[in-house]
Amino acid sequence: MTGPPDDCLARNEWICGEYLSTRRQILLDAVLQHLQLTGISVLIGLVLAVPLAVLARRWRWSAGPVLAVTTILYTIPSLAMFSLLLPVYGLSASLVVAGLVLYSLTLLVRNILAGLRAVPEETRQAARGMGYGPIRLLLTVELPLAVPAAMAGLRVATVSAVSLVTVGAIVGFGGLGNLIYSGMNTYFKAQVLTASVLCVVIAVAADVLLLGIQRLLTPWTRAARS
């Protein structure tokens, strides 16, 4: 009678160093795809959210429709969202990116708009008195003062995107989600746990990185706290 196998892969254990050493390239490729999908989606979302928030701030009547549409998009379940976008993008990475962009708009537009609205009116009046035009006022006064609220939304949107990327596994572009999905189908414990932990690590690292960037961009908030 033989004892249990010495190989943790053969024993199908949750924690297995052998999995990390033998699947290193697979894990690296999955992490890179996860980071690419997250980064591109959030960046495109930010590029779209800033003008939408500025539009909603300049013309107050547009704030309601803009916020309503982005909120409705956020309530659509991820599987349904990808299904609706499938005829346009097909089974591609663009499908996942498009879905994540739409989800990020709610968080980004709402927070950027809140930041713009929080700029004191006397600050705007003082800038106008110094000869600032609308564009210069926006770029040098309003947007910089809106950074704390905007960064708060960006942090939440990024962490949310890290999580939602895994759903892209249903079309073969889910980063670490691909490993989680295939590991669950085959009950490959080490793969499921390792990919899940890496997702958490990416989310925490992204949040810490963005928090550091926020502090660099808003030195006046540190001075106020001290």
Domains detected in the chain:
17-219 (1.10.3720.10)
- pLDDT tens digit sequence for 88-121: 888 888 999 999 999 998 889 989 988 888 888 8
Across residues 170-187, what is the average pLDDT? 86
Is 173 a residue whose pLDDT tops 90?
no
Is 31 a residue whose pLDDT tops 90?
yes
Could you please report the per-residue DSSP string of 52-98?
HHHHHHHSGGGHHHHHHHHHHHHHS-HHHHHHHHHHHH-SSHHHHHH
Model's pTM, two decimal places?
Answer: 0.84
Radius of gyration of the chain from its Cα atoms, rounded to whole angstroms: 22
Predicted confidence band of residue 28 (pLDDT cuts 50, 70, 90): very high
Predicted confidence band of residue 209 (pLDDT cuts 50, 70, 90): very high
Measured CA to CA, the distance from residue 21 to residue 128 in angstroms comes to 62
Mean pLDDT of the chain, nearest integer: 85
- pLDDT tens digit sequence for 128-152: 888 777 788 887 888 888 888 889 8
Amino acid at 56: A
Contacts of 93 (CB under 8 A, 6+ apart): 37, 168, 173
Measured CA to CA, the distance from residue 201 to residue 205 in angstroms comes to 6
- pLDDT of 2: 47
